[in-house]
A = this chain, B = another copy of it.
Amino acid sequence: MASHPLLSAISEFSASRNAMYGKDMLLTWEKSDDELRAILAAAALLREMYAQNISTRVFDSGLAVSNFRDNSTRTRFSFASATNLLGLTVQDLDEGKSQIAHGETVRETAIMMSFLTQVIGIRDDIYLGAGNAYMRQVAAAVDEGFREGTLMQRPTIVNLQCDIDHPTQTMADLAYLKQYFGGLDQLKGKKIAMTWAYSPSYGKPLSVPQGVIGLMTRFGMNVALAYPEGYNLIPETLDIARQNATRSGGSFEIANSMEAAFADADIVYPKSWAPYSVMEERTQLLSAKDYDSLKALEQRCLQNNAKFTNWECTEALMSRTKGGNALYMHCLPADITDVSCKQGEVSKSVFEKARIDTYKEASWKPFVIAAMIFLSKFEQPGSVLEELVKRSPKRVL
């Protein structure tokens, strides 16, 4: 058999040490540019091997624990798909309702569900200050378990959305940008508008806008963030965006309006999120189990949202973007005016034009998650992929 065309694409993995081996995926800004590039490259390779009917089942058995402390349909399917693609079986940890976790229980439960577990995917995005911290508690527990010989392998923790970041979403977004514009280097100098948008819903996490500004500033893009007064993000994430922009030769600015942010943008990402102060108050009220005040808070928040119904991604706004033709992105589901609600984040016609694009954006998520797991589990990922391509076991007979 002649050399398989995929082998040269794989060669980049073989060159250097895999710094992600044995590491968790908790925040994109804890990863080097090279590591992020490796995730994108691995995701693209796994996808291409899928397309060529080459099985990437690197595990003959093993569990992938999912722990959704907030509702999820889509990420649940992405995680199930990704782990299945690698040969793992999902076992869901059903804790009942989300609650701020206590140290002892977290430590013990983490061990009890990990004896034959390769990866733990966690969504915990409700409590500001608690979600990412919980993931680190789990990580510390399995660290101890592996060190003390309780666990025969250390499961990788993958952040499936927390209070701070949503790395599987933003890396899927970046993978699509790379595909759409024809390479990561093509993103240099492109303008992306990450803006708030009105939605009749309440309490959406800050993790997507924070994750987007923290990641998209890494590759030389000009990132414009815009939101109404009171809808600011966790201050540290702004600092990270600023530092990244400086380092990458891009820029980061906070605009006052959608109009300003959209001006000449190559990419727009209009999306609702909750006011920062509401998220803080909500965390306190949830901890105190003060459900009456929570209901009152929700009412107040929805009324406040309603002042900004004009933050909608319309045709008029889109016409202000580069060539009137910016790429519209969304993590989905979007609140679409006259479709999923009376008044929402995006007009029906704008969304309909962008719909297939948003689906393609989403299609990267299983492969990005699979890549993150794959790179954390194999010290020599290039050799493993090479072996698979050479053998080319069939995914479907």
Q: Which residues of A contact B (CB under 8 A)?
A: 50-51, 55-63, 65, 73-74, 76-78, 80-81, 84-85, 87, 89-91, 93-95, 104-105, 108-109, 111-113, 115-118, 145, 148-152, 332-333, 336, 339-340, 356, 359-360, 362-363, 365-366, 377-378, 384, 387-388, 393-397
Contacts and interface: CB of A to CB of B under 8 A. Distances in A.
Contacts of A384: 397
A84 B89 contact: yes
B63 A108 contact: no
B111 A149 contact: no
Contact of A60 (B65, B150, B394): B394
B87 A91 contact: no
B366 A77 contact: no
Interface core residue of A55, A81, A89, A115 (most chain B CB under 10 Å): A115
Given A57-B60, A60-B395, A73-B113, A150 B104 contact: no
A86 to B, nearest CB: 8
A105 B335 CA distance: 11
A295 to B, nearest CB: 21
A63 B83 CA distance: 11
B84 A61 contact: yes
Contacts of A104: 336, 339-340
Interface core residue of A65, A85, A149, A363 (most chain B CB under 10 Å): A363
23 contacts: A50-B116, A60-B393, A60-B394, A61-B84, A62-B396, A73-B94, A73-B95, A73-B109, A74-B113, A76-B91, A77-B112, A77-B115, A80-B89, A80-B91, A81-B91, A81-B117, A85-B116, A90-B91, A104-B339, A111-B362, A115-B365, A116-B366, A145-B359
Contacts of A333: 105, 108
Contacts of A80: 63, 89, 91
Nearest to A385: B397
Nearest to A387: B397
A396 B91 contact: no
A188 to B, nearest CB: 27
A62 B395 contact: yes
Given A56-B61, A151-B363, 15 more contacts: A50-B152, A57-B60, A60-B396, A61-B395, A62-B396, A63-B77, A77-B91, A77-B112, A84-B89, A104-B336, A105-B340, A108-B332, A112-B359, A115-B362, A388-B397
B59 A360 contact: no
Nearest to A91: B80
A116 B84 contact: yes
A199 to B, nearest CB: 15
A111 to B, nearest CB: 5
Given A104-B336, A150-B356, A377-B396, A115 B59 contact: no
Contacts of A90: 89, 91
A147 to B, nearest CB: 10
A50 B396 CA distance: 19
B112 A73 contact: yes
B85 A61 contact: yes
Contacts of A378: 397
Given A84-B62, A340-B105, A360 B112 contact: no
A108 B339 CA distance: 12
A396 B59 contact: yes
